């Protein structure tokens, strides 16, 4: 892996080659794409991304927490090439191949306290959620599901019906899937969700015998990188057990080593009945999975399937990814701890950084205007752009949080470079937005 590199900006991005591609792209691509900033990638290596004009960027967003092993990890590339040279497709729903069985075996081996499991392979996170939604209804024969405010589960109909993070993801797509109840995401500050269900919802709105499942991100992703108290997840587990409700963990963003455990469930010690995986699983290749207790994955032959899900090239990428990530878990935890301590030191110097939180390399820094406590939305938008100009790739989430979700192969050097550039940006932006301590911010 390339070590001790620094970002290198040769031409202010977007340079001429990038601008030409952006121009072509804009003419023909859907206006629904977000395009956070004008990064036009030519290649990547480890945590480094090179644009078409020869600039080198340090990647602390990993293509939305997906390039888990870094860009073009040689073991993953080699596995993909070897699989592609054998056969590209035969359809795992209808036929057999070894890598499909091997990946399902591997995924079924995680979270051993869940007991025996069965696995269904998908092409994406949203498909895993969609399938899990069908599974919990089919298994329980119950119609309602519970989800949380701030949640993001994907872009298909079942998933957007569970979402409650940005209204634009749902607007004018209705009617959505009925029967979804949204509660506040559990934090140290929100009221007790279990109490709200037992004492209010289950008495006034919905009989718990009609509730199929609770879908929850064990760490809130797009909604702001929020870590719930373990007690809240334990409470949900107990509630589910009391009423025969299934607990589904969406580990699409938090899974595959991101938290320093293979799955965030281990961090909290709470076992779900079903968990969904994608993103980091294939290092960027399109693969996801629904992993369920054997006694829950009871849907009959033909009830669910997929042409491409568990494609052999993607299975090979996933197996190689798991091989790379498993031995890194301890380092991920330590690097994350190091990064949070450096961010907290930076917070002392920049009061606009209101909170630093996270587990492993799933780290959020929330920005609030010190004078009013309001989300520093424009500040965070400007920070993303300025960091990009300096050669650092960042991505926001929630109202005004920067998420740090680098490739899992980063070490202290990359963290130091990231923090140095971040602080350069904050010094400039604190002045621009008038939020520096020197400008009259009153510390409490
Ligand atoms: N679930 C969570 C927690 C996610 O963060 C995402 C994507 O960001 C999804 C589901 C959807 O995954 P995909 O974009 O692969 O459909």
Residue 319 lies in a domain: no
Alpha carbon distance, N-terminus to C-terminus of the chain: 45
* 65 and 105 together in one domain: no
Beta partners for residue 180, in sequence order:
145
CA of 360 to the centre of ligand 1 (A): 19
Range 341-375 burial, b when 16+ CB lie within 10 A, else e: ebbeebbeebbbbbbbbbbbbbbbbbbbbbeeeeb
* 285 and 368 together in one domain: no
pLDDT of residue 314: 98
Q: What is the DSSP string of 126-166?
A: HHHHHHHHHHHHHHH---EEEEETT----SSHHHHHH--S-
Comparing 31-35, 189-193, 298-302, 331-335, which segment has the lowest mean pLDDT?
189-193
* 151 and 216 together in one domain: yes
Residue 222 lies in a domain: yes
* 366 and 269 together in one domain: no
Residue 6 lies in a domain: no
pLDDT digits 0-9 by tens, 354-369 = 999 999 999 999 999 9
pLDDT digits 0-9 by tens, 117-142 = 999 999 999 999 999 999 999 999 99
pLDDT digits 0-9 by tens, 37-93 = 999 999 999 999 999 999 999 999 999 999 999 999 999 999 999 999 999 999 999
Residue 247 lies in a domain: yes
* 37 and 165 together in one domain: no
* 119 and 259 together in one domain: yes
* 238 and 286 together in one domain: yes
Structure tokens at 211: 């509730």
> Is the CB–ligand 1 distance for residue 250 below 6 Å?
yes
> 284, 310, 336 — which closes off a domain?
310
Residues 27 and 372: beta-carbon distance below 8 Å: no
| Angle (nearest 5°) at CA 123 between 120 and 129 | 65
- Tell me: pLDDT of 442 over 70: no
Residues 184 and 228: beta-carbon distance below 8 Å: no
- Domain encompassing residue 247: 97-310
Residue 141 lies in a domain: yes
pLDDT of residue 103: 98
Residues 244 and 284: beta-carbon distance below 8 Å: no
> 283, 310, 337 — which closes off a domain?
310
> Is the CB–ligand 1 distance for residue 217 below 6 Å?
yes
> 310, 343, 362 — which closes off a domain?
310
Pairing of strands 395-397, 353-359: unpaired
Residue among 221, 217, 253, 262 nearest 66 (CA):
253
- pLDDT (mean) for 203-221: 97
> Is the CB–ligand 1 distance for residue 254 below 6 Å?
no
* 107 and 192 together in one domain: yes
pLDDT of residue 438: 53
- Tell me: pLDDT of 159 over 90: yes
Q: Is the dihedral of CA 112, 114, 117, 123 positive or negative?
A: negative
Residues 338 and 149: beta-carbon distance below 8 Å: no
* 160 and 203 together in one domain: yes
* 135 and 255 together in one domain: yes
What is the C-alpha to C-alpha distance for residues 151 and 250, in angstroms, rounded to an integer? 10
What is the C-alpha to C-alpha distance for residues 440 and 438, in angstroms, rounded to an integer? 5
Could you give the number of structural domains in the chain?
Answer: 2
Residue nearest to atom 12 of ligand 1 (CA): 125
Ligand 1 atom with least separation from CA of 222: 5
194 against 436, higher pLDDT? 194
> Is the CB–ligand 1 distance for residue 124 below 6 Å?
yes
- pLDDT (mean) for 154-162: 98
Residue 169 lies in a domain: yes
What is the C-alpha to C-alpha distance for residues 280 and 277, in angstroms, rounded to an integer? 8
- Tell me: pLDDT of 2 over 90: no
Ligand 1 atom with least separation from CA of 288: 15
Residue nearest to atom 10 of ligand 1 (CA): 153
With a pLDDT cut of 90, the percent of the chain lying above it is: 96
CATH code assigned at 101: 3.40.640.10
Residue 209's CB is within 10 A of a number of other CB atoms, namely 12
CA of 160 to the centre of ligand 1 (A): 11
Residue 4 lies in a domain: no
Mean pLDDT over all residues of the chain?
96
* 362 and 298 together in one domain: no
CA of 348 to the centre of ligand 1 (A): 33
CA of 127 to the centre of ligand 1 (A): 9
From 32, 221, 275, 289, give the residue whose CB has the most ligand 1 atoms within 8 Å, as the site to mutate.
221
Structure tokens at 82: 């070897």
pLDDT of residue 440: 44
- Tell me: pLDDT of 281 over 70: yes
CA of 122 to the centre of ligand 1 (A): 12
CA of 200 to the centre of ligand 1 (A): 31
- pLDDT (mean) for 402-428: 98
* 280 and 213 together in one domain: yes
CA of 130 to the centre of ligand 1 (A): 11
CA of 102 to the centre of ligand 1 (A): 24
CATH code assigned at 409: 3.90.1150.10
Residue 306 lies in a domain: yes
């Amino acid at each position: 892996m390339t070590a001790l590199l620094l970002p290198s900006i040769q031409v202010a991005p977007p340079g001429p080659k990038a601008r030409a591609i952006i121009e072509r792209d804009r003419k023909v691509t859907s206006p629904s794409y977000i395009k956070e900033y004008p990064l036009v990638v030519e290649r990547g290596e480890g945590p480094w991304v090179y644009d078409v004009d020869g600039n080198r960027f340090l990647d602390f967003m990993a293509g939305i927490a997906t390039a888990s092993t870094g860009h073009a990890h040689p073991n993953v590339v080699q596995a993909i090439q070897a699989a592609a040279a054998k056969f590209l497709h035969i359809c795992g729903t209808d036929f057999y191949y070894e890598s499909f069985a091997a990946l399902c075996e591997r995924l079924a081996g995680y979270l051993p306290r869940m007991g025996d499991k069965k696995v269904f392979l998908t092409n994406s996170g949203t498909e895993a959620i969609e399938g899990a939604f069908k599974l919990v209804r089919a298994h329980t024969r119950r119609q309602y599901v519970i989800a949380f405010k701030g949640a993001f589960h994907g872009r298909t109909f079942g998933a957007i019906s569970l979402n409650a993070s940005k209204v634009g993801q749902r607007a004018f797509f209705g009617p959505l899937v009925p029967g979804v109840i949204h509660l506040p995401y559990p934090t140290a500050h929100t009221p007790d969700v279990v109490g709200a269900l037992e004492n209010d919802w289950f008495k006034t709105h919905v009989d718990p015998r009609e509730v199929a499942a609770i879908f929850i991100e064990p760490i809130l992703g797009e909604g702001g990188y929020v870590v719930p108290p373990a007690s809240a997840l334990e409470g949900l587990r107990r509630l589910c057990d009391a009423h025969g409700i299934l607990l589904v963990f969406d580990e699409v963003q938090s899974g595959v080593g991101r938290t320093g455990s293979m799955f965030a469930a281990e961090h909290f010690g709470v076992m779900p009945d079903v968990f969904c995986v994608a993103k980091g699983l294939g290092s960027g290749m399109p693969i996801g999975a629904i992993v369920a207790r054997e006694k829950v994955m009871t849907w009959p032959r033909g009830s669910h399937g997929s042409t491409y899900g568990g494609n052999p090239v993607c299975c090979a990428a996933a197996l190689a990814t798991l091989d790379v990530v498993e031995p890194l878990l301890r380092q991920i935890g330590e690097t994350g701890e190091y990064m949070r301590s450096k961010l907290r030191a930076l917070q002392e110097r920049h009061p606009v950084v209101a909170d630093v939180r996270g587990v492993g390399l799933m780290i959020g820094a929330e920005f609030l205007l010190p004078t009013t406590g309001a989300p520093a939305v424009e500040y965070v938008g400007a920070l993303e752009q300025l960091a990009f100009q300096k050669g650092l790739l960042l991505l926001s989430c929630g109202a005004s949080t920067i998420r740090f979700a680098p490739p899992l192969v980063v070490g202290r050097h990359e963290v130091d470079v990231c923090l140095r550039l971040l602080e350069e940006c904050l010094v400039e932006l604190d002045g621009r937005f008038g939020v520096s301590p020197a400008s009259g911010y009153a510390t409490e």
